Chain A
């Protein structure tokens, strides 16, 4: 195996193992016997990308096709990025160390908004024109996928195709169409036109956007005949039998998720009003528990990992969770396999499980409270009551735990000073619960309550897509207010309050609900040197300030306005199943502080039932 980078470079950069591939379970194919070569990219550093389950699922899916060879690409770390630019070295795939520009496709998964400049980094270092309109027939087709594709508009100019939905569904058809295109004199435009007729395939260049005088969108319309007005998000219906990688690639480097990842359920029944994943992955679908047990065994055998992680948005809602965990714990006792627990509801069963797999003295309980008062938790439809939190804490304290983590958001719609104060007061009451329930002689040091606050970012396809996002200064003010409140509590020594970086979140807010005009800003920021914006050590807000100013765009236009109920959104041509009328009703209910029952308690007719599966039909089976 000849490496793309010479020794003198590999010996002088951090962690050269990021760039050599050759891991256990890597796909190996004869490049002369495949028709389509795909570079699949996670636009962040290797250790982050390799921790992402979705990449392993798609990698496995593509490599199951005999006519296709899928290889991996990640963002070069800034040290190598610099060298590649200086020496004019092209970005390459890990498997065969082939330049990405020699691939048929460059597929990029878009997991979070702050990777947008890394998308440009990858395209640019690959030697592919940055703008889709400048690409010719011989150039790789640049395809975007992942959750951010529900509003791909800010990056629309950089992609030939956006795949809207879960990857398992439509790629086979696209591969077949591509083969036709490659082996004929079909033009790139015609290929994109044909592709756009496939379910879930969005080709941004085939749509035009008109704007109103106030800067909002007037209309998004298809430019050619046969191009659908709405692109429908693809959901895997036969989720039970969807292909799953039994032999995931095993990195040499210690990556963030250094364990077997087992997806037990997709989607969430809860309907928290701020949560995008909870809306776009509807309906909730589960895997069969016997199948999961078999998968767990086989994957542990094929990887040699000593740890397994259950993956889902809300594991406690998996109906056979007790059975699955009991099985895994038995495995722990016999085969030295540890179970890393996803955030579970805190109750007697989960505490019992946790006490078996974690060192109680070192681990902490986690509550995603999201808001400090019941009123505000009702606004966001977070069905978590104070009684439940207190009872969970009491049981845990009696059981020996003495660390609690609480997650909150600041800047939620309708938030008042009382709600902020509520964060400190809740923390105080939890600390009291400890002192009331644990006798002095059993205390091992003091109880520690860590409350952390993130900055609420309204997302498309949530009931809060109409909501205003507070300014960074206001976020910082509120965070300080909470901090002061915590410091004025009687048990302040047991309470710690931390909060997140405001600059990154505000930009995330701009991109999340942005439109196509932002492509210019992203491009400008990239040209000015922005990459790895998701990493606070590399993020330079000043670059974006300049880029917005030079493009004549006011970022707060996208974040600050409370949008009128009938505003046309830049993502209105995407259909994720959940209807706009459902979301609007939820938006109204939130203002009335009314909660909506979860899918298992009562169906609210959100629209996702049209997919014809999952929780919507559970009761009917």
Chain B
């Protein structure tokens, strides 16, 4: 049986690498006593796969992995069971059942949304500066992009699907700079952040056009003449999306609770 598990990674655990998170869940699944499936062969391993690697330093409340299980109980029971064995900074939010033929989360990621906010430890405040300048999104935004063969400049504007000013407590978008079609004016956020306002961004993600939030804030800062370095801001991922008939849908909409 295929399940998709949504989890958070917050606070100090932003310094745990993606590889370590994978190893962490292998153990958490066993502590929780889940009946996970193993591969056959001499050194069997759990059949689980993660959606997208998360860079060091970023926090998130919208991470996913998929797993194969021989038997399951129900969503509420499993969420509670595994959360008891994990620190408060990494918690499972939801578990859904997938169709047998469902594609792995890794292959369907199309977008992600983020809050970018000023690092409370830094004196330079790029996000506040941008906001105070009443910035707009230009028709073309050039940013440096790392590729396999080095760096190149690229217009990242087409990969920005949404941009706004956000109240980090209520999730309310007080001003849209680019409003995604059909978007609500209030975004769901469960993690307390250390700054009251931030930039909301909905960006292309996945293996093809993965746009990093710092490319957007960095590009804007440059354009509007604000001092900026990546360490002056923090990034919190809100959720990860796939394409659906009605536009972007959260990865946890690919199945039902059970």
Does chain A bind chain B?
Answer: yes
| A positions within 8 Å CB-CB of B | 1, 3, 6-8, 10-11, 16-17, 20-24, 26, 250, 252-254, 300-306, 336, 338, 359
In the bound complex, how far is the Cα of B90 from the Cα of A22, in angstroms? 10
In the bound complex, how far is the Cα of B87 from the Cα of A1, in angstroms? 12
- Shortest distance in angstroms between B17's beta carbon and chain A's nearest beta carbon? 7
Interfacial chain A residues near B13, Cβ < 8 Å: 20, 22, 252
For A5, the closest partner residue in chain B by CB is B15
Q: Are B86 and A22 in contact (CB under 8 A)?
A: no
- B53 interfacial contact with A, CB 8 Å: no
In the bound complex, how far is the Cα of B59 from the Cα of A3, in angstroms? 15
In the bound complex, how far is the Cα of B42 from the Cα of A301, in angstroms? 22
Residue among B23, B44, B122 with the highest chain A CB neighbour number at 10 A: B23
Q: Are A3 and B44 in contact (CB under 8 A)?
A: no
Interfacial chain B residues near A359, Cβ < 8 Å: 42-43
A16-B15, A306-B26 known; A252+B20 contact, CB < 8 A: yes
Interfacial chain A residues near B121, Cβ < 8 Å: 6-8
Chain B interface size range:
20 to 34
Q: Are A17 and B31 in contact (CB under 8 A)?
A: no
A7-B231, A10-B15 known; A302+B44 contact, CB < 8 A: no
B92-124: contact bitstring with A at CB < 8 Å (1 yes, 0 no)?
000000000000000000000000000101100
Q: Are B119 and A17 in contact (CB under 8 A)?
A: no
Excluding A7-B231, A252-B24, 16 further A-B contacts by CB distance (< 8 Å) are A6-B121, A8-B122, A10-B57, A16-B56, A17-B17, A20-B15, A21-B12, A22-B87, A252-B13, A252-B23, A254-B23, A303-B31, A304-B31, A305-B30, A338-B43, A359-B42
For B11, the closest partner residue in chain A by CB is A1
**Which one of A21, A26, A303 contacts B27 once the chains associate, using CB atoms below 8 Å?**
A303
Q: Are A304 and B16 in contact (CB under 8 A)?
A: no
A11-B231, A24-B85, A359-B43 known; A304+B15 contact, CB < 8 A: no
Interfacial chain A residues near B226, Cβ < 8 Å: none
Interfacial chain A residues near B11, Cβ < 8 Å: 1, 22
Q: List 28 A-B contacts (CB under 8 A).
A: A3-B12, A7-B57, A7-B119, A7-B121, A7-B122, A7-B231, A7-B234, A8-B122, A8-B231, A10-B15, A11-B57, A16-B15, A17-B20, A20-B13, A21-B12, A22-B13, A22-B89, A24-B31, A24-B87, A252-B16, A253-B20, A254-B20, A301-B31, A302-B31, A304-B27, A304-B29, A304-B30, A306-B30
Q: Are B85 and A17 in contact (CB under 8 A)?
A: no
**Which one of A10, A24, A303, A305 contacts B86 once the chains associate, using CB atoms below 8 Å?**
A24
Interfacial chain B residues near A303, Cβ < 8 Å: 27, 31
A11-B231, A17-B17, A252-B20 known; A336+B38 contact, CB < 8 A: yes
In the bound complex, how far is the Cα of B11 from the Cα of A155, in angstroms? 39
Q: Are B56 and A11 in contact (CB under 8 A)?
A: yes
- Shortest distance in angstroms between B62's beta carbon and chain A's nearest beta carbon? 20
- Shortest distance in angstroms between A236's beta carbon and chain B's nearest beta carbon? 29
In the bound complex, how far is the Cα of B20 from the Cα of A10, in angstroms? 16
What is the number of contacts between chain A and chain B, taking CB atoms within 8 Å? 77
Interfacial chain B residues near A17, Cβ < 8 Å: 15-17, 20
A11-B56, A24-B87, A336-B38 known; A305+B27 contact, CB < 8 A: yes
- B160 interfacial contact with A, CB 8 Å: no
Interfacial chain A residues near B17, Cβ < 8 Å: 17
Interfacial chain B residues near A6, Cβ < 8 Å: 121
- B28 interfacial contact with A, CB 8 Å: yes
- Shortest distance in angstroms between B13's beta carbon and chain A's nearest beta carbon? 7
Q: Are B56 and A304 in contact (CB under 8 A)?
A: no
- Shortest distance in angstroms between A545's beta carbon and chain B's nearest beta carbon? 39
- Shortest distance in angstroms between A352's beta carbon and chain B's nearest beta carbon? 16
**Which one of B12, B42, B85, B231 contacts A304 once the chains associate, using CB atoms below 8 Å?**
B85
Interfacial chain A residues near B15, Cβ < 8 Å: 10, 16-17, 20
- Shortest distance in angstroms between B59's beta carbon and chain A's nearest beta carbon? 11
Task: Give B17-74 interface residues, CB cut-off 8 Å to A.
Answer: 17, 20-21, 23-24, 26-31, 33, 38, 42-44, 56-57
For A302, the closest partner residue in chain B by CB is B31
In the bound complex, how far is the Cα of B57 from the Cα of A10, in angstroms? 9
Residue among B12, B21, B89 with the highest chain A CB neighbour number at 10 A: B12
Interfacial chain B residues near A300, Cβ < 8 Å: 30
- Shortest distance in angstroms between A330's beta carbon and chain B's nearest beta carbon? 16
In the bound complex, how far is the Cα of B123 from the Cα of A7, in angstroms? 13
Interfacial chain B residues near A22, Cβ < 8 Å: 11-13, 87, 89
Interfacial chain A residues near B119, Cβ < 8 Å: 7
Interfacial chain A residues near B21, Cβ < 8 Å: 252
For B20, the closest partner residue in chain A by CB is A252
In the bound complex, how far is the Cα of B89 from the Cα of A12, in angstroms? 22
In the bound complex, how far is the Cα of B16 from the Cα of A26, in angstroms? 16
Interfacial chain B residues near A338, Cβ < 8 Å: 43
- Shortest distance in angstroms between B12's beta carbon and chain A's nearest beta carbon? 4
Interfacial chain A residues near B43, Cβ < 8 Å: 338, 359
- Shortest distance in angstroms between A538's beta carbon and chain B's nearest beta carbon? 24
- Shortest distance in angstroms between A299's beta carbon and chain B's nearest beta carbon? 11
For A6, the closest partner residue in chain B by CB is B121
Interfacial chain B residues near A8, Cβ < 8 Å: 121-122, 231
For A335, the closest partner residue in chain B by CB is B30
In the bound complex, how far is the Cα of B27 from the Cα of A300, in angstroms? 10
In the bound complex, how far is the Cα of B123 from the Cα of A6, in angstroms? 13
Interfacial chain A residues near B20, Cβ < 8 Å: 17, 252-254
Which 5 pairs, one residue from A and one from B, show the smallest C-beta to C-beta distance?
Answer: A304-B27, A304-B30, A304-B31, A16-B15, A20-B12
For B32, the closest partner residue in chain A by CB is A304
In the bound complex, how far is the Cα of B27 from the Cα of A67, in angstroms? 31
Interfacial chain B residues near A11, Cβ < 8 Å: 56-57, 231
In the bound complex, how far is the Cα of B31 from the Cα of A305, in angstroms? 8
- Shortest distance in angstroms between B67's beta carbon and chain A's nearest beta carbon? 14
Interfacial chain B residues near A10, Cβ < 8 Å: 15, 57
In the bound complex, how far is the Cα of B78 from the Cα of A155, in angstroms? 52
- Shortest distance in angstroms between A442's beta carbon and chain B's nearest beta carbon? 20
- Shortest distance in angstroms between B21's beta carbon and chain A's nearest beta carbon? 8
In the bound complex, how far is the Cα of B56 from the Cα of A23, in angstroms? 17
In the bound complex, how far is the Cα of B139 from the Cα of A240, in angstroms? 74
In the bound complex, how far is the Cα of B88 from the Cα of A23, in angstroms? 10
In the bound complex, how far is the Cα of B17 from the Cα of A250, in angstroms? 15
A24-B86, A306-B26 known; A1+B38 contact, CB < 8 A: no
